[in-house]
Amino acid sequence: MLKPLVSMRGVTKFIYGGDGRPLRNTDVKILEEVDFDLFPGEVHVLVGENGAGKSTLMKILGGVIPPDRGELEIDGARVNLADARDAREKGVAFIHQELNLCANLDVAHNIFLGREPRRRGLKDAGEMYRRSAELLKALSTDLDPRLPVARLSTAQQQLVEIAKAMSFQSRVVIMDEPTASLTKREIDVLFELIRRMRAEGMGIVYISHRFEEILAIGDRFTVLRDGRRVGTLPIQAFKPDSVIWMMAGRSIDEMYPRAHAVHPEPVLEVHGLRLTPRTPPIDLVVRRGEVVGLGGLVGSGRTELAKSVFGARRFHGGEVRYLGRKTNGWSPARLIRAGVAYLSEDRKTEGLIPPMSIRENLTLASLRSVATLGFLSRPREERQAARLIDELSIVARSSEQIVSTLSGGNQQKCVLGKWLCTAPQLLMLDEPTRGIDVGAKAQIHKLIDQIAGAGVGILMISSELPELIGISDRVYVMREGGVAAELEAGPELTQERVVACMV
């Protein structure tokens, strides 16, 4: 049995109060009784949601902050790290996500910053450049040690950081999301380097959110959640579904809730609609309480189909029926009044009026419902806005806040809110979760399920296959302006099937 390079036992870190003293009596801790091992010649991946404690654990290992409780052993010897410099001298190198280099200095000066080789009390520049060149050569790069760091790419700067780590004779290297700003090629180079470091018996802690990278480079992985270690497993046990469950404490089913039920009567029927004179006729149906996914590549005609149904685009032949009535030639305004809504993929120019307030945006498509004889009632508008801000959990100072100052997720909720104000029977969603953070995404998925549960028919365009498959009761896949396939939810509906129909 190999002896571990690093062994952390029962590491605990409290939350700190406003007075700078730890709060020992609360249940919530940043880290609680976390064990962590790193063996020589292994890449140990650390995964977890933001705030799970990954960075704190690594800061303790890197000597940046001390643990409140617990032990740390390096090479079998118990250590108390005084600071980051102390950790570095004991062989732990921390490569931060934001690189810590001095842009005005050259490569060699950065590598030997603060410990430049000396001869008779004077800096020995020749020795410094020689040793830098050696280190860089060992990393099989021909980077010139005299180049100023400001002129290097992110990937090259990372190499300098690694060279610096090697110059300390480090045996433990912590990499915090090192690939965040690298290209595919640069990532390959980095991975090659990591493999060589591993072969030389170094231990690497690798923090990443990217599953494919974790599978490509990891040997073991540890999942942290809410400051606790959920488990440490060999990489062969790394399955996205189960890892998401370990990270989030909820399964895929909970990410894509499905409490709604489909009613038989159709809300939307499309018969033989042609998007252009040359594309095939499209047939499609959306029922009450049903979430129908519309998949396909960008440019396959998904948005065009939704806009055709919404009266915002001309189409060639065929008919559109909404609640049994033929609606060919209806304007968006008339369709909106009848209960049709279309949430555009382009939030900024087709979904919101960014310089107007949340209230004004929410009521824009349903002004009649808050007006008498054409005059708007401010109290009614405010009640409506307050209700939606509450129902959709829009985070804002007040309903008067200007929409452009909101985060992407909250902006998207405003667009959704605008359409909910119109009391739709048919809701068409075009990329409803594009460009918003994970938390808001899960909330929007939940809302979609609730809206369908209220009997609304939903047609959802999405390029995110897990979302498309996770939420939809049925999926139409479009290709070159026509419907290539119709797939029912179930074991048959897989990402591979959808992709196969798309191209």
Partner 1 sequence: MSARATEDLQAGPAPGERREPPAQAPAAAGKGRARLAPGDLLNLIGRNVALFIFLTLVILASLFVNNFAALDNAVVILKQSAIPAIAVIGMTMVLMTGGIDLSLGYVVGLASIVSGIMANTWLWPAPAVLAAILALGLALGLCNGLITQFMRVPAFIATLGTGYVLYGLAQIVSQGSIINRLPKDFLAIGRTPMFGLPSAVFLALGVAVAFHLLISRTIYGRQLKAFGFGARTAALSGVPGARINVSVYAFCATLAALSGLLFTIRVNAAQPNMGGGVFTFEVVTAAIVGGTSLFGGVGSVANSILGVLSIKIIENCINLLGVSYHLYLAVQGAIILVAIIFGNLTNRRA
Binding site for partner 1 (CB under 8 A): 15-16, 28-30, 50-51, 53-56, 96-98, 176, 227, 310, 312, 331-333, 336-337, 342, 344, 349-356, 360, 364-365, 367-368, 371, 374-376, 393, 395-397, 401, 404-405, 407, 409-410, 418, 437-440, 443
Torsion of CA 301, 303, 305, 309, to 10 degrees: -170
Largest CA distance in the chain: 94
CB 358 within 8 A of CB 384: no
First to last CA, the chain: 51
Nearer to partner 1, 78 or 368 (CB): 368
Taking the complex as a whole, the smallest distance from the CB of residue 366 to partner 1 amounts, in Å, to 9
Q: How near is the Cβ of 84 to partner 1 at its closest, in Å?
A: 14
- CB-wise, 129 or 330, nearer to partner 1? 330
Closest CB 277 distance from partner 1, rounded Å: 24
C-alpha to C-alpha distance for 145 and 148, rounded to whole angstroms: 8
CB closer to partner 1, 118 vs 334: 334
Residue with smaller CB distance to partner 1, 202 or 427: 427
Rounded CA gap, 87 and 92, in Å?
Answer: 5
What CA–CA distance (Å, rounded) separates 49 from 72? 24
Q: Minimum distance from CB of 273 to partner 1 (Å)?
A: 19
Q: How far is residue 10's CA from residue 181's CA, in Å, rounded to a whole number? A: 34
Nearer to partner 1, 29 or 287 (CB): 29
Please state, in angstroms and rounded to a whole number, the distance separating the CA atoms of residues 421 and 385: 9
CB of 492 to partner 1, least distance (A): 33
**Nearer to partner 1 among residue 28 and residue 237 (C-beta):** 28
Cα separation, 30 vs 256, in Å, equals: 28
d(CA 265, CA 303): 24
d(CA 431, CA 437): 14
Alpha-carbon distance of 33 to 364, in angstroms, equals 53
Please, what is the minimum distance in Å from the beta carbon of residue 145 to partner 1?
29
Distance of alpha carbon 399 from alpha carbon 81, whole angstroms? 50
Pair 206, 46: CB distance under 8 Å: yes
Q: Are 297 and 479 in contact (CB under 8 A)?
A: yes
Q: From CA 21, how far away is CA 311, in angstroms rounded?
A: 62
Q: Report yes or no: 479 and 501 within 8 Å, Cβ to Cβ.
A: yes
State which residue, 97 or 251, has the beta carbon closest to partner 1.
97
**Distance, CA of 322 to CA of 339 (rounded, Å):** 9
Identify which of residues 29 and 44 has a Cβ nearer to partner 1 in the complex: 29
CA distance linking residue 281 with residue 351, whole number of Å: 28
Give 261 or 423: the residue with its C-beta nearer to partner 1: 423
